Structure 1
Amino acid sequence: MERQDVVGASAWSYFVPYQPHLNRALQELRQRVFAEGDYYWGLGADWVPPEERRPRPQTIMELFADEYVQECGTHSILDMDHVLGPEERPDYRTVEPVSAVEAKERAGTNRLTRAHIDAIDDLVRSRWFGRCAVLHDGAGEPAEIYFWGYSGD
């Protein structure tokens, strides 16, 4: 994962092996990131007085029950809830797949690869939203899914 501070938010990106179910891939990625503790947990930070520090939550549900996390986020893919379906509109905490039209306009192809990331990276419209794209190998077969976005305050 890469992070970069952006006006109080953080940019994040992840690559996962391809599977045809984008939402399942997102949920598995979220579980992995949570289990690895690869997210911002401000309530355990050094700047928090020792008597106010709290250990990391044991579940994602417990994590998002915390008011601090609800307001500030985790600055990671954990802040995303689900991948949008074909008829859904982008909303807070959602991941929107790159459309075939966007891929063609930005990269000149419907079969994106890692070489096309720079062409699509700015498709994230604002904070608290994510995008995803199926990336293909040299033979044109789906190889991985790229998730990226900005979240956190």
Structure 2
Amino acid sequence: MGASGWHYYVAYQPDLQAALDGLRRQVFEAGDYWWAVPYEYGKSAADFPNRPRTEAELWADESVQESGTHSILDMSRVLADGEEPDYGTVQPVVEAEALEHLGVTKLTRSHVEALKPLASRSWFGRCAVLHDPEGNPSEIYFWGFSGD
């Protein structure tokens, strides 16, 4: 199947890990992920009434561990500033990186397409705080690639 790209927008909150955790809960509860057990491509877990009811139950299956969910569920932790990216982690875009790659420090939705190449490895995600026209943080954009 290969890795799948995914992206999400969530309301801004200063705690990026809490934002990731809330997004993961929302995606899991909605069944908005690929479930490896039935191996039916083009369907989400929501299409199966017998899908796992907890994340622990989902990840207990070896097929899921090997194939992932092709969603934010494959990411578990937001990295602290200066931490090296690792499997299943999300690295925030910092102001210096935004300035280097996009020429601005306050990112908006208009920068999203230009941000996408910053997530170039599989099983790794990025996130960026996006700002409203007045320059206030308004949402967080999560994106990346995962799954096999």
Provide the identity percentage: 56
Map 1:1-150; keep pairs closer than 5 Å.
Answer: 8-46=2-40, 55-150=50-145
What is the RMSD of the two structures over their aligned residues, measured on CA atoms?
1.7
Q: Deviations over 1:8-60 (max 9, x none)?
A: 1100000000000000000000000000000001223458xxxxx99211111
Unaligned runs of 5+ in 2: 42-47
Amino acid across the alignment from 1:32: Q
CA distance in 2: counterparts of 1:86 and 1:61, whole angstroms: 29
Amino acid across the alignment from 2:12: Y
Unaligned runs of 5+ in 1: 1-6, 48-52
> Alignment partner of 1:43: what SS?
coil
CA distance in 2: counterparts of 1:45 and 1:54, whole angstroms: 15
Moved over 6 A (4+): none
TM-score normalised per structure 2: 0.90
TM-score normalised per structure 1: 0.88
